[in-house]
Each structure stands twice: as structure tokens, then as C-alpha cells.
Structure 1
């Protein structure tokens, strides 16, 4: 008996498959799922590779950029995300959910007062008494900080999200071999070690290393360009960034501080912004430089009367990565910078530790 081949026995073409099968789902992962997969990947990498030495200075701590999630999912994911230190397992308390990034007016910068402003800043730095850390002592820096978390969500691409302003404390030995970081909510409870055997450099400086740098602005800038070649979005931007990193969480000798400001003024594109606020809300005048690739302007903020360094902020000046102009994506304020007698010891609490 010859059996007729039924329609069911024949393979379905693409059109029929599309008709009988359910529509494919949204390929985007939820934020919590993405964080979980990223954490798993990092754990796999760390389990097969030697742990890197802790960074001596904080890079901009961008967590996620342009992740397509809803604002509600974003807040929920961060509320239940816990972090562990490298090689450890002590969890931190729930990471605070991001908040909407502040938006400010973008004031144009100018070179009209650049030379005089830099000379005021450099003269003040030269005259300022800088504590000299001795053997067994630590450089202590306390800051208020906030960094970009997510550039926008899929339900509102007009808002960026940042970490809530929070306290960050760093202790470093003069030789750079011992250190501690305490940043509640973003590190394991009690903090993490910054101990390192990495040879100090411009990218990972120590106080002892900074004392060896030239105090002639031209020689200093030449060294910065040479040692940062190939880094960053452009040579000029990287030179400006390198100097800025030495201002936030380092202690530099007075003469070097003055040389750093004078060297930075020679970087093409540096301007003065007459009005700026640090993360503590203090008004100041700023030296600034725009990253042409990322569209944000880094501003170093100084007290307009004493020319003391107050802090920094990064303001988006042209739309990029979904971030609209005026958005403050990074903010710092140096609250204390001094020398203490022991790691984890805070000023005014001699003999006690964190």
C-alpha cells in the first residue's frame, strides 16, 4: 500500500515556522541578570589568573553605561547587589541605589585669565605648608565623591544615574607599599587593603616617588606626555587627567604641586571656568579641559580667595552615550588631607583606629 505523504510530514518553511511558533522574546538582559553574569565571568577570570595589585589611585569608577533597563529595575538591582573584595568573601551592605545625576548650566571656559589664575594657584601652593610623612606614618585623605552609574534607562533616555554622594577615606604609606581604603557601601565592611609591591609610577604614585619628579614645569610635562603615551582618549586629555589624579588622593610636596599647576596650564585646550561647585557645595574657580571624544569637561576647583584645591567635577558639555549636556557625571570634594601615625587612624583620634 502506498502511503501518501501528508502536509505534516513535510518540513515547514520560514513563513510557516513564524506563524506557528511564539514570537521571540526581548533579547536584552535585565540589569540584575547582567550583573550576575558579569560577576560570574569576573570570578572565573580571577580563579585562573593571579590577582592584580590594588590600584594606587582611583580611576573614574563607571559601573555601567547605557544599559537598557527601567529605572525601577535599576534601583532594585543595586539595592540587592553586594560586592566582595578581590580574593575575599566579606560582603558589603546593600549598595545604595543610584540617584538622578545633577544637571548644571554649562558655563563657557576662557583663556583670558588662564595665566594669572594659574600663577595665583601655583604661588599659593608654594607658600602652603605641607606635612612631611615620616617612617611608619600614613597619608590620610577624606573625600566626598559620586561617580556615574548608568548613562540612561530604556524608559527615560534623558536622565543619567550616579552614585549618591558618599564618604571615601584612603590611607597610604609614603613608600606606597601599605594602604587602606574605606568606602562604605562600595567596599566590604571595614574597607579593603591597598598593600602593593608595584613599582611606583605616574599611574601608581607614592609620596616618595612624587619627591623624585622634576619641579620644572616643562620637564615635568614632557615626562607626563612620555610616560602616558598611548593612554586615554588623546595625549592632551591624558596629560590633564594624570595631573588631576595627583591632586585628588595624593599628597605632593609644595614645589611639585606648583609645578603640576604650571605644567597643566601648558596643555592645549585648558581654560578657566569662573564658577564651579565641588561635591561639598563649595563655590570656586576652575581649571578645565574637554575630552573631545567622550564630550565631558573635567574641572579642578579652587577656592577663589585662597586658591586652595577643593575638589573636581566632570560635566558633560556635548551629548554622548545618551548623556545630555550639563549632566554632572563625576564629583569630588577633598574634606581632609593630612598625616596620621597609623593605618586606619583618623585625624584627632590619635591612638584609635577605624
Structure 2
């Protein structure tokens, strides 16, 4: 006994189909042999709705991937597609202007390109610009010695500063090393017009700004980036402004910053020291700045003669995070 016999024993023999069913089946078979009819080729409306829903979901997932790539993934330095077994390949986003920058101007253009990808909404006057930065100092015992100039390797500590500045300039506050938020007396601060800074969207406008006497303006665009929360197009303009300055170079040697590699763009200051902008080598986001002695130098000071040696680090400042927040004490 086979499976068909068992089924027949259990369910009994099937009734013969009616003549009309036989005719419909025969017509369908002939139609199938001759090709699908126009009606058969038309897809039912519910199938189109399902397809549209699937396409919408797929588009949403692609959008999420793109946003994650812009915010967290390293930009492509080759423009090639990734080849992962079992995973559909797709190009990495975004592709930097210079895959392997060989000059300071190219590094700075990569940095301008990266910063321009940041999302931005113009802040309200009652919101706050928040910045968290870390600055390196000599330990207390060394700080008490005179003269005191360069940072001493292995005998330093980091201090974490958080600041809140209301967009209208009416409130300034600070927190040090996670302590209490302290509102400062506004008389201690010179308030810079936020709208004025937000208008510096090109190197030419920055030149005009620096050439105009300001009671409270920034003389150093680099420090303006570190200590202000600026629109992305203004940060990009600052990088492009530095790219035009004579003597700007790229440091081809690896620069280690807290165990992280960095790319350095250097700018001569006074013949014996230079400032370095430190960028993350994959995304070209600004990590921080430091000042380095490039030539032995002695400098008279009130507490004695400061003797600088080539290679001394005079300042190291890292910008950890920044953003616009709603209330004093909030963080991004």
C-alpha cells in the first residue's frame, strides 16, 4: 500500500469534477501553453502595495545606513566598494576630496569637507553653546617652580573644562572636572556677537573680520573653532582660510595623542615655535591643538628666564565634544 492508497482509505474517493470546472481547467491549460493573457500579466493591486511597502522600508534602512556612515564611519579613502562574503557590497560614504593628502592644503580641504557634513539648525537666542575640552598641565609641584614653561612628559595631568554660553551672550557658566556648574560674572567676559561669527562663511569674510578692530573679537580663528560652537560652513571657512596662509605644512610623521594617531597641520608662529592642528587620520575631524618648540630659545619673564628646548610641548588642548543645548547644565 502506498501513500495514495492510505489517503483514499481515510478520505474516500474524490467526487468527479463538474463539466464547467473541466472546461475552465482545459481553457486555462491552453492559455498557459500559448502564453499569459494581458489580464494574467497585470499584477493585483495588493501585490503592488506590498512591493511599495517593502521598497519604502528598504529606502528607510538605506537612509539609516547613510546617516550612520556620515556620523560614525570613516570616510572612504578610495571610493571602492567593500567586498564582504555574503554581504552585498556598497560604496563607503562619504568620499573625501583627497584620498591621500600630500600637502597641508589638501588635509585642510578634507577637514572642511568633513565638517560641512554635520547637521545644523540655527540656535535660538535662549539656547546654550556647550563645549567640553581637556587641557594638559604640569603637576602641581612643577607648577610651583620658576621658571615654568614646557610640559614635562610623565609629570602632567589633564583638566576637563565644560562651558555653557547662552547664544544671546547673557549667561556664561563653567564646570571643572565634573564639579558644580558655576555661573560667572558677565563682567569677566567680553561677549562676542554670535550672529557676527555665524556670518564668517568664507576666507575673505574672515580676512575682513580680522582687519576690523573688535572690542571682543577673536584674533586667532583656530582658537575660535576650539572655544566656540560654530555653524559647519564657518568651521569649513576657517580651515580654508588656514590653507591659504604661507608656511602652512603637513607633518608626515605619525603624531600620537593619548594613544590615538593624528595628522598634524603646522603653522610657524614666531620662528622658534609652531602651532599644530591635530586631525583624526580617517575622518579628518579636528581633535585639538598643541604648541611645539622647533628651535632652542630663551625668553625673559618676570619669574626668571624661560629656556625652551627644541621638541618642548608648550600647550596641548583637546576638544572632546560640542553642541547646542537647551538649558544650563545640559550636554549634547
TM-score normalised according to structure 1 size: 0.53
Cross-structure match for 1:252: 230
Matched, 1:210 2:187: no
Matched, 1:193 2:183: yes
Q: What RMSD, in angstroms, separates the aligned Cα atoms of the two structures?
A: 3.6
Q: 1:151 to 1:223 in 2, by over 3 A?
A: same
Matched, 1:174 2:151: no
Equivalence map 1:273-288=2 (5 Å): 273-274=251-252, 275-278=254-257, 280-288=258-266
Q: 1:254 to 1:338 in 2, by over 3 A?
A: same
Cross-structure match for 1:317: 294
Matched, 1:272 2:262: no
Alpha-carbon distance between aligned partners in 2 of 1:205 and 1:163, rounded to the nearest angstrom: 33
Alpha-carbon distance between aligned partners in 2 of 1:117 and 1:158, rounded to the nearest angstrom: 28
Task: Compute the displacement of 1:133 (Å).
Answer: 2.5
Matched, 1:133 2:138: no
Cross-structure match for 1:329: 314
C-alpha distance after superposition, 1:118-150 (max 9, x if no partner): 221111122222354324221111111124687
C-alpha distance after superposition, 1:62-108 (max 9, x if no partner): xxxxxxxxxxxxxxxxxxxxxxxxxxxxxxxxxxxxxxxxxxxxxxx
SS at 1:172 equivalent: strand
C-alpha distance after superposition, 1:205-252 (max 9, x if no partner): 353331133x22123224324448xx9xxxxxx96xx11111112111
Alpha-carbon distance between aligned partners in 2 of 1:217 and 1:158, rounded to the nearest angstrom: 33
Task: Compute the displacement of 1:156 (Å).
Answer: 11
Alpha-carbon distance between aligned partners in 2 of 1:343 and 1:154, rounded to the nearest angstrom: 39
- The answer to which structure, 1 or 2, has the higher relative contact order (CA under 8 A, 6+ apart) is 1
Alpha-carbon distance between aligned partners in 2 of 1:174 and 1:312, rounded to the nearest angstrom: 25
Alpha-carbon distance between aligned partners in 1 of 2:143 and 2:195, rounded to the nearest angstrom: 38
SS at 1:322 equivalent: strand
Q: 1:178 to 1:135 in 2, by over 3 A?
A: same
- Structure 2, unmatched stretches of 5+, are 1-100, 298-305
C-alpha distance after superposition, 1:173-198 (max 9, x if no partner): 1122211112249xxx6354345379
Q: Which has the larger radius of gyration?
A: 2
SS at 1:343 equivalent: coil
Q: 1:330 to 1:147 in 2, by over 3 A?
A: farther
Q: Is the 8 A contact 1:152 1:323 kept in 2?
A: no
SS at 2:124 equivalent: coil
SS at 1:142 equivalent: strand
Equivalenced residues, count: 219
Q: 1:152 to 1:285 in 2, by over 3 A?
A: farther
SS at 1:269 equivalent: coil
Q: Is the 8 A contact 1:298 1:312 kept in 2?
A: yes
TM-score normalised according to structure 2 size: 0.56
C-alpha distance after superposition, 1:297-323 (max 9, x if no partner): 111111111111111111121222312
Q: 1:281 to 1:195 in 2, by over 3 A?
A: farther
Alpha-carbon distance between aligned partners in 1 of 2:176 and 2:197, rounded to the nearest angstrom: 25
Alpha-carbon distance between aligned partners in 2 of 1:334 and 1:121, rounded to the nearest angstrom: 15
Equivalent residue in structure 1 for 2:114, among 102, 107, 124: 124
Cross-structure match for 1:341: 326
Alpha-carbon distance between aligned partners in 2 of 1:211 and 1:246, rounded to the nearest angstrom: 11
